[in-house]
Structure 1
Amino acid sequence: MKWLRFRHEGAIGFGTLAGDAVEVHEGSMFDSPRATGARLALAAIEWLVPCVPAKVIGLWNNFGALADKNGWARPAEPLYFLKATSSLAAHGQAIPAPPADAGRIAYEGELAIVIGRRAQRVSVEDASAHVFGYACANDVTAIELLHRDASFAQWARAKSFDGFGAIGPVVDTAFDPSAATLRTRVAGRERQNYPLADMLFGPAELVSRLSHDMTLEPGDVILCGTSLGVLPMKPGSTVEVEIDGLGTLSNTFG
């Protein structure tokens, strides 16, 4: 099922995608949601970020092709950062340009894992039972800020400006990332095209390993990292992140 959150006539709700409509549900998306019988046209709703995470975890150096091209050693364990939840943006929402002194701003098309069940020190074998589903993501980065200060890498700042965490449009509970390809288009031109199977740490291993570092709660998001093709964006550019069978996330920068 493909789940989404929305705003309609000032009220926030959630439900499942059904063609050009949403079938409204009540209760908790992660715990026995109940269909209300109401149905709303997609044209009548405002898309919201499809989940409300307590934390967003982003992976670095998690794709083989990118590591090989840059001469990076393949990590022995997941390398990650935390991204402010205030950076989240929904499908169709603009990504505001940060202050000019932030420098160049790059897109990063990624797969997002959404946790559905509390995960605390779970095994790789049990990890999939704690995954609710998957979504498309754009992990936007102020690339010049990362290493502006030689004494301290500014991952949180470079990744957490408003709008720098676009996720959506839906969370798909039946999606299988093992054979899917991700494509990122900027102003209609394809810039990224890579297989998700090239991940150094796949979804189950990521959930397991991260759950040994911190408790993962329903709604938490893990961004799986990106691969080749990351470049700065120009203001006014529309960025589309498409994953086979999962949908297309579209946002305009600036």
Structure 2
Amino acid sequence: MTSWIRYRSGSANVGFGRLENGRIHVHQGDLFDAPQPTGEVLSEAEVTKLAPCQPSKIVALWNNFHALAAKLEKAVPSHPLFLIKPSTSVCGTGEALRRPPSYGGKIVYEGELGIVIGKRCSNVAPGDAADHIFGYTCVNDVTAAELLNEDPNFAQWTRAKGFDTFGVIGPAIVPGFDWRAAHVRTTLDGVERQHYPLADMVFAPEQIVSLVSRDLTLLPGDVIACGTSIGVGSIKDGASVAVNIEGIGTLSNTLAK
């Protein structure tokens, strides 16, 4: 299965390419608009992986799994419930998660599937939504949990989830990924905390893209985090969290001390 990564080689050179059997086939141009191979091939081991795309925004869903809705005693929504994480929150695999200097409270992980948009998407019909999906990636939707309800008058979803390094995506984008039989597995310092089937989603990816595109325009490279299920928990300073989806890879990060 083809996967795409962005990388840094040397001190400054940033590029992207198709990853196959540990070798990166370097491409040039626009990842989402007929990229062309350069003929250069790099070893995966000699580069630093970056977030695989540079979204203008991350659209993050809430309450999109039946099991979690039942546990929380919440009705499943009739339309995707979502918030926006800014482009400045984006973080790649291997990068340190950084605690906001002004915040000393609980930081929470949420392992999720991410949809990567491949072309401009506005008011897209459900039957056409698949044509606007470039591929899929892993997401860790990090949250400063104690900020959510710090002010009883206004739930601060964007503030709690929008800090630098809180929009973790990667390690690769996989076009044509069959999510229906896949599971999300999240570990904390090697101990499994989440292991849930993506088939339990309330809204499937094509439905999500169509419905969200009615509310706002999605651009190439934008990521939609499909929401999480049971097993969300907190990350202590110095702890490492890894989100794995077989067929995509493992997204691993450590919360800096």
TM-score, normalization: structure 1? 0.98
Counterpart residue identity of residue 215, structure 1: T
Alpha-carbon distance between aligned partners in 2 of 1:67 and 1:100, rounded to the nearest angstrom: 32
CA RMSD of aligned residues (A): 1.0
Match for residue 6 of structure 2?
5
Alpha-carbon distance between aligned partners in 1 of 2:93 and 2:136, rounded to the nearest angstrom: 14
Alpha-carbon distance between aligned partners in 2 of 1:193 and 1:93, rounded to the nearest angstrom: 23
1:244–1:214: structure 2 CA closer, same or farther, 3 Å change rule? same
1:58 equivalent to 2:60? Answer: yes
Match for residue 202 of structure 2?
200
Following superposition, the deviation at residue 100 of structure 1 comes to 5.8
Alpha-carbon distance between aligned partners in 1 of 2:14 and 2:162, rounded to the nearest angstrom: 24
Moved over 4 A (4+): none
Counterpart residue identity of residue 202, structure 1: A
Flag structure 1 segments of 5+ consecutive residues without an equivalent: none
Match for residue 40 of structure 2?
38
Alignment of 1:50-89 (within 5 A): 50-89=52-91
Alpha-carbon contact 2:194-2:231 (below 8 Å) kept: yes
Counterpart residue identity of residue 2, structure 1: S
What is the number of residues matched between the two proteins? 254
Alpha-carbon distance between aligned partners in 2 of 1:79 and 1:94, rounded to the nearest angstrom: 29
Following superposition, the deviation at residue 98 of structure 1 comes to 2.0
Alpha-carbon distance between aligned partners in 2 of 1:136 and 1:146, rounded to the nearest angstrom: 24
Deviations 1:86-123 (A, max 9, x none): 11111111101223635100000000000001111111
SS of alignment partner, residue 205 of structure 1: helix
TM-score, normalization: structure 2? 0.97
Alignment of 1:150-165 (within 5 A): 150-165=152-167
Counterpart residue identity of residue 190, structure 1: E
Deviations 1:47-82 (A, max 9, x none): 111011111100011110000011011111110000
Following superposition, the deviation at residue 21 of structure 1 comes to 2.0
Alpha-carbon distance between aligned partners in 2 of 1:183 and 1:3, rounded to the nearest angstrom: 21
Flag structure 2 segments of 5+ consecutive residues without an equivalent: none
Identify the match of residue 224 of structure 2 among 211, 222, 225.
Answer: 222
Match for residue 98 of structure 1?
100
Alpha-carbon distance between aligned partners in 1 of 2:26 and 2:72, rounded to the nearest angstrom: 46
Counterpart residue identity of residue 167, structure 1: I
Alpha-carbon distance between aligned partners in 1 of 2:54 and 2:91, rounded to the nearest angstrom: 11
SS of alignment partner, residue 101 of structure 1: coil
SS of alignment partner, residue 167 of structure 1: strand
Alpha-carbon distance between aligned partners in 2 of 1:66 and 1:180, rounded to the nearest angstrom: 17
SS of alignment partner, residue 97 of structure 2: coil
